[in-house]
Amino acid sequence: MLVTLTDVGHRFDGRPFLFEHLTVRLDPGRVYALTGPSGSGKSTLLGMLAGWIAPSAGSIDRTDVDSIGWIFQNPHGVPRRTALDHVALPFIARGESRFTADTEAQQLLLRFGLKHAMDRQFRALSGGEGQRLMLARGIAAAPDLLLVDEPTAQLDVHTASTVSDALANIATAGTIIVVATHDARTRDACTDIIDLGAIS
């Protein structure tokens, strides 16, 4: 699978282009940091990658991309469900037994530094723990394309650093991951950088 952007640009009616002439190939197993100043079109480009917004110029081709996941700025979960429940659910939805789902979920929670919070209800998690849980659940869902929108925007510096550290562990062979961010530490945790500020 892959996503190819060819000479892509976007603007809203009557406004200058946010960015233009963006040509890039997105491959599975990579984590792309989508950077640029406020107003450069990071969230807009995520919407375009998801197919929600049509580019004003150029084309976006999704080859063998059948499922798309999205992780928002603010983590959303079921208040009384445990962290383990949240990550096990995608495995159960794919037909895994509860035992297998829990085992897989435990491995992901460990990978994202959440072993200590495994049996904690979502409502009892800190902001950083909640956002790392969303990353773990996003990987558990195994989408072809995973879009992450400003994962540290609502967090203090220390908490944001724990999420950025977790992003260093997010790369997975079967998923293309794009992370919109203004945070240098988050950017540096990714494998590749797409700087909209450099092409706007």
Residue 22, class by beta-carbon neighbours within 10 Å (0-12 exposed, 13-18 middle, 19+ buried)?
buried
| pLDDT at residue 200 in the model | 56
DSSP readout, the chain?
-EEEEEEEEE--TTS--SEEEEEEEE-TT-EEEEE-STTSSHHHHHHHHHTSS--SEEEEEEES---EEEE-SS----TTSBHHHHHHHHHHHTT--HHHHHHHHHHHHHHTT-GGGTTSBGGGS-HHHHHHHHHHHHHHT--SEEEEE-TTTTS-HHHHHHHHHHHTT---TT-EEEEE---HHHHHHSSEEEEGGGT-
- Which pLDDT band holds residue 184 (cuts at 50, 70, 90)? confident
Query: pLDDT tens, 94-140?
Result: 999 999 999 999 999 998 889 999 999 999 999 889 988 998 999 99
Question: For the whole model, what pTM was predicted?
Answer: 0.90
Domains defined along the chain, listed by start? 28-51+67-191 (3.40.50.300)
- Which pLDDT band holds residue 93 (cuts at 50, 70, 90)? very high
